Amino acid sequence: MTETYPIQERVEAALGAERAERLLTALDNYSNQPNAVKGAAKKPSDPEIEAAAHAAFAAATPQEVDLELDSIGMWGLLTLAARADVTILDSLPAWRVANPKVASIRRAAAKHRKSLADAAATDPPAGSAD
């Protein structure tokens, strides 16, 4: 029986097969799960990818999340999902919540939100005349 990966399938449905494959392959190419979290945290902001990742995790059952978080790339995808809404981490299976990678993702999401706020504060409003 072939195992299915519903989170990955949802990301593919949202982003298209080619774009999702590039993203998931890039995230899976890290040497380990902590590096996937760090690498994803350094990616430039892409609200479409972050929203798709969040929606995919939000629609998943705890069993699906638990199964897919055994891979390297899914931790990177979870990092991107947390950028859209960090509360997605609260829905992880209980034994995953205590994982140090979750704390790293929370810090990365907070840093990302701060950098977006700082960028918005320094950008002039659209349509303003200088």
Comparison of pLDDT for 110 and 120, the residue scoring more:
110
Q: Give me the helices (H) in 4-99, please.
A: 6-15, 17-28, 33-41, 47-58, 62-68, 72-84, 94-97
User: Nearest-CA neighbor of 82 among 116, 113, 36?
Assistant: 113
Q: Is the pLDDT of residue 129 over 60?
A: no
Inform me whether the pLDDT recorded for 118 exceeds 90: no
pLDDT for 6 equals: 96
Please give the pLDDT value at position 2: 42
Tell me the CA distances in angstroms from 94 to 7, 61, 64, 101, 102, one per residue in order.
19, 13, 14, 14, 11
What percent of the chain stands above pLDDT 90? 81
Spatial neighbors of 75 by CB under 8 A, at least 6 apart, are 33, 34, 36, 37, 40, 69, 101, 105
* pLDDT value at 126 more than 70: no
Judge whether residue 124 has pLDDT over 70: no
The identity of residue 126, as a single letter, is A
Half-sphere exposure of 11 (CA within 13 A, CB side): 24
127 has a pLDDT exceeding 70: no
pLDDT mean across residues, the chain: 91
Phi, psi of 67 (to 5 degrees): -60, -50
pLDDT of 116: 87
